């Protein structure tokens, strides 16, 4: 493999992705944050650690970003020791984060002025799929750049969808998360309303899961709501609130009435405002329950015994 690959952001998704790039035979440079364990794991697999994004840009041909939000991405790109400071002609940055498309388009223009290419390739899937190399990639870039980077992306993605030019991938990801996070709010309301009228979460799952309304997101959501499996869907409410906020901004910029997205946003904003930003998305059901004086954990226990009060 001739390309040298960089990876910045080794969280739930990034660690599995970077590990698969290394398994694909590529020379790999990594940069983590506070948690040293992912860095040390990858170094033990033969990766090297970069001191800064600038150093990575000076050494790598392709750099992946897997960060939490657009301010982090912008700081990584534009900081005094950022990627733009060390960018060489031909450098490709693949941003796999979920980001504000307007920011993405601006960064693509700035890197383009240095002869580089900014690609947005946000993810669909879970940390388990990241480890297995079976994520979905929604790619925004020119055709020739996609073919240049496809072998690298296929190290961590089982499906590669070319959405359009730079920025289009992040727009598609926001639409995907609009649907899933609205489901999260809808499921939460349905569970609480069901509890109020005597229908247990178990019964709701038993009826909906095998129907046409069942889906993978429903299954993982209910794995927490019914089975109380905290790790069933490890996506934080903080990230959910950020994504639905970006979606609402995109709708405002497009002059689109978005009543559903606005309603969903308030549930996630309320959970963040009350100190629950590190909870995972299925736990939103508990917060909606609390707003209505319903303890869903207690309801589930009673459901196991055969009834809901």
* Catalytic residue annotation: 173
Q: What is the rounded distance in angstroms from the CA atom of residue 52 to the CA atom of residue 6?
A: 11
Q: What is the rounded distance in angstroms from the CA atom of residue 234 to the CA atom of residue 16?
A: 14
Token pair for residue 177?
A: 């998360």
Q: How many CA atoms lie within 13 A of 215 on its CB side?
A: 7
The whole-angstrom distance between residue 132's C-alpha and the CA centroid of its chain comes to 16
For 134, phi and psi rounded to 5 degrees?
A: -125, 35
Question: Which residue spans within the chain are E strands per DSSP?
Answer: 4-8, 27-31, 48-49, 62-65, 92-95, 117-120, 123-124, 135-140, 157-164
Q: What is the rounded distance in angstroms from the CA atom of residue 118 to the CA atom of residue 159?
A: 20
For 165, phi and psi rounded to 5 degrees?
A: -75, 175
Identify the H or E element spanning 87: none
At residue 240, the 3 state secondary structure works out as helix
Q: What is the rounded distance in angstroms from the CA atom of residue 120 to the CA atom of residue 140?
A: 5
Q: What is the rounded distance in angstroms from the CA atom of residue 289 to the CA atom of residue 292?
A: 5
Closest by Cα among 22, 267, 246, 268 to 122: 246
Asked if residue 54 lies in contact with residue 63, where contact means CB atoms within 8 angstroms, the answer is no
């Amino acid at each position: 493999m001739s390309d040298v690959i960089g990876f910045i952001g080794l969280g739930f998704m990034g660690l599995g992705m970077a590990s698969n790039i290394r398994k694909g035979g590529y020379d790999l440079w990594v940069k983590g944050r506070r948690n040293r364990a992912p860095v040390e794991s990858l170094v033990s697999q033969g990766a090297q650690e970069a001191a800064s994004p600038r150093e990575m840009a000076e050494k790598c041909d392709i750099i992946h970003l897997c960060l939490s939000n657009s301010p982090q991405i912008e700081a990584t790109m534009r900081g005094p020791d950022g990627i733009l400071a060390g960018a060489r002609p031909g450098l490709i940055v693949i941003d796999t984060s979920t980001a504000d498309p307007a920011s993405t388009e601006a960064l693509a223009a700035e890197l383009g002025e240095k002869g580089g290419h900014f690609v947005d390739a946000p993810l669909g899937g879970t940390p388990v799929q990241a480890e297995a190399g079976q994520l979905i990639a929604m790619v925004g870039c020119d055709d020739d750049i996609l073919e240049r980077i496809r072998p690298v992306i296929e190290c961590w993605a089982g499906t590669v969808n070319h959405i359009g030019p730079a920025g289009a991938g992040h727009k598609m990801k926001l639409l995907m998360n609009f649907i899933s996070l609205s489901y999260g709010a809808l499921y939460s309301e349905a569970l609480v309303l069901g509890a109020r009228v005597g229908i247990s979460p178990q019964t709701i799952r038993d009826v909906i899961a095998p129907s046409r309304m069942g889906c993978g997101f429903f299954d993982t959501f209910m794995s927490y709501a019914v089975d109380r499996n905290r790790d069933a869907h490890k996506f934080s409410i903080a990230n959910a609130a950020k994504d639905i906020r970006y979606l609402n901004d995109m709708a405002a910029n497009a002059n689109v009435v978005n009543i559903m997205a606005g309603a969903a946003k308030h549930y996630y904003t309320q959970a963040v405002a009350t100190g629950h930003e590190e909870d995972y998305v299925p736990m939103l059901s508990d917060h909606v329950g609390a707003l209505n004086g319903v303890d869903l954990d207690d309801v589930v226990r009673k459901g196991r015994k055969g009834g809901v009060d």
